[in-house]
Structure 1
C-alpha cells in the first residue's frame, strides 16, 4: 500500500474514533438529563476529542467522557438552581481539560472502558477496525495502527525512479484504479467484495443502536451486493466485482461522521479499496489462497 493510501486509512480511523467518542459523550448527557452541547461550544468539543483521538484509544476516551459528564451531573445536584445548559458547558470544559492532560501526559494511566452494550460502535467503525484493520477500536491507537501497517510501497516519479532511500516494493497499486484491476485479475480475490458488503450489512443489523449513517451504508451495501449477484453469472466474479467497485460512487447519500464531505458510495469504495489491498498483502505474507477473511 502506498504511503498516501495508508495515511488516508489512518485519517479515516481517527475520524471514526473521534465520532464514537462524541456519540458516547452525547448519549451520556442524555442519560443524565442534560441538554445537548450549545452550538457555540461544539467546535472546541470536537477539537478536543479530535486531538485526544490521535493519542489515546477509544476505551480510554470513553473513561474521560464519563468522568466529565459525571462531574457535571454532580455539579447540577449541588446547584439545583443553576442552568442545566451551563452544566452541559461544564461537562465540555471538563472533557476539554481531561483530553488535554491525556495528550500532554502520555504516561498518565487511564482505565479503558469496554463497549457499551446499549449503544455499541457504529457499523462503519466495526467494519473498518475489525474487517480491514484486524483490531479492536476500543484498544487501538493511531501510533499502534501505523506501526501495524506494512512498509509503504515507494512512490515513483514520472521516469520510473523511486524516491531516494526507498526500497523496491511489490508490484501492487491501489485498487482504486479499475484499469489495474482489469490487467491484474490474478492478484486480487473478487470474493472480497461481496464478503465485505455482507459484513457491512450484518454489523449494521446487529448494532443495538444503529445510526443514520449505519442504515445508509447498509442499504448501499445491499444494493451493491445485489448488483454483484446479478452480474456475476454473466460477467464472471472479477468483472462483476470491478463493476460494483466502479459503480459505488453512484450512491450519493451524504454521510455525517466525517469533517470532509463524503457520500456513502465514496466511503464504500474506499473500504473495498483498503480491503482488497489487505487481502493481497495477507496472501503475499502467507501463501496463495482463495480464502478471504470474514
Structure 2
C-alpha cells in the first residue's frame, strides 16, 4: 500500500515527462495486493544479459542516463528518494530491437551479434523501497552493487544515494559489467578506493561503530589485511581506476566529458556529489559531440 501511495503521487504530478511507470489500477485478491501497470519491455539488465553483457554504445548510454536523471530529478522535487536504482528496475518501453554484428570479446576473437533497442525510451519501476525524505530512514538501503559509501559507513543518507547508484549504472551500461561486484562491506570499500582513490578522512572519522572495524588506526582501510580470502584480494586488484576502465570501452575523444560526469556522480562525499538537475546540465548531455 505504501508503494501504491507513491505511484499515485507520481502519477498525480506527472505531465508526461517523469519517465516513471504508470499505475493503471490495483486490487486485493485473497489478501494479495495486485498492481496493474502499463505494458513495458525488458529491463536493462535483461537486455544486457541477452546481449551476452556486451557494452552499449556511449550515445545509447547517454540517452538512458538523461532519462534516468530526469526521472530521479522529478522524484527528488517531490521529496521522494527511490533508494533501489539498478538496471533491473529500469525498463525499456518497447521490446523491439535490431541485431547487428560487432561485439568482439577481449578474451576471444569470436564476434557476437549485438542487439540494440529500436527505441531508447525507458521507464523507472519498483517504488517499494521509495521513501519521503522527511520519513524515518532505515540504516541500509540499495542493492549491494549500487550502495553508496555513506550507507555502508552508517553516516545517514538522503537524495545523493540515488545519484551514486546512477553513476554505477552508467559505468555498467558502457562496460557490460557491474562496477562493484562484491558481497561484503570491506571488499566493497576496497573496490571503491581502487577505482576512485582514498575515502575522505572526515567520512572515516564519523563512521558509526559498526563500520569502525573496516579501518586501522587513523583513516586507512584495513586492506588487504582484513580480506576474507585471496579471491577477494584478486577481485579488488583486477579493477582499474575509473578513467582507465571507461577508456577500455569508449573512444578517447568521446570519453572525457563522460568520465567527468561519472566523477561528479561518484564523489565519496555526498555533499559534493552532483544533484540530478546539475548532472542533466553537464556537458556530457549538453554537448554530446
TM (norm. structure 2) is 0.31
Q: As a proportion of its length, which structure holds more strand?
A: 2
TM-score, with structure 1 as normaliser: 0.30
Q: Which has the higher helix share?
A: 1
